[in-house]
Amino acid sequence: MERRDFIKTGLFAIFALYGFPENVLSSKLSDIRKTSRAEGKNYHLNGVYAGAIADNRILMPEALARPLRNENLYLFAAEKEKTIFLVPENSAEWKVLEQTIDVLDKKDVLHFRWRLAKLDKEGRLDFPARMRKFAGIQKPTVTITGQGNTIRIDGTETPSS
């Protein structure tokens, strides 16, 4: 497995968990300090929802939008993974992810994109076409999943109820 694929898979495995482990490992463990969940705010984002992209925006479900309305958020994507994560800046997850990005080689960083985002008053999130294309999300329908302190936006088929 190529190094960049290993790192990409590792980051997505971390996000796939419902919450981060107390200590997150990376290829350069000594460069990432141990981060505790207590260092960040807890958002309790849960649930699976269907969403639609219109005018480069996505309307977030009220249950997920309410706790995030006045927060700085980061959209984070890995190349062609068909998934984008929405991570609050004040969460332990962002602190760990930020440290992980800092220790990646420049060639590895080219396979990831992140940008600052905010929800508007109606709970809509700017969802730029450029980032969707980078992540490989092509359909206007997405699955929005609250996972503890992160939101996962998948461009794959919406699960049936």
pLDDT in tens, 34-43: 444 456 788 8
Q: Do residues 67 and 43 lie in contact, with contact meaning Cβ atoms separated by under 8 Å?
A: yes
Residue 114 lies in a domain: yes
Sequence-distant (≥ 6) Cβ neighbours of residue 47 within 8 angstroms: 61, 63, 64, 145, 146
pLDDT band at 161 (very low <50, low <70, confident <90, very high): very low
More confident residue, 155 or 30: 155
Residue 8 lies in a domain: yes
The total number of structural domains in the chain stands at 1
Residue 91 lies in a domain: yes
Return the CATH number at 129: 3.40.1550.20
Q: How many CB atoms lie within 10 A of CB 116?
A: 9
Residue 26 lies in a domain: no
Residue 137 lies in a domain: yes
The beta strands (E) that lie in 17-155 are given as 45-54, 57-59, 73-78, 83-88, 112-117, 124-126, 141-148, 150-154
The residue type found at 122 is E
pLDDT band at 106 (very low <50, low <70, confident <90, very high): low
What would the pLDDT profile of 69-96 be if each residue is shown by its tens digit? 999 999 988 777 888 999 999 988 888 8
Q: Do residues 45 and 146 lie in contact, with contact meaning Cβ atoms separated by under 8 Å?
A: yes
Return the H-helix or E-strand segment holding 156.
Answer: none
pLDDT the model gives residue 110: 62
Q: What is the pTM of this model?
A: 0.72
* Residue 2 reports pLDDT greater than 60: no
Give the range of the structural domain holding residue 150, as residue numbers without chain letter: 3-20+43-154
More confident residue, 131 or 28: 131
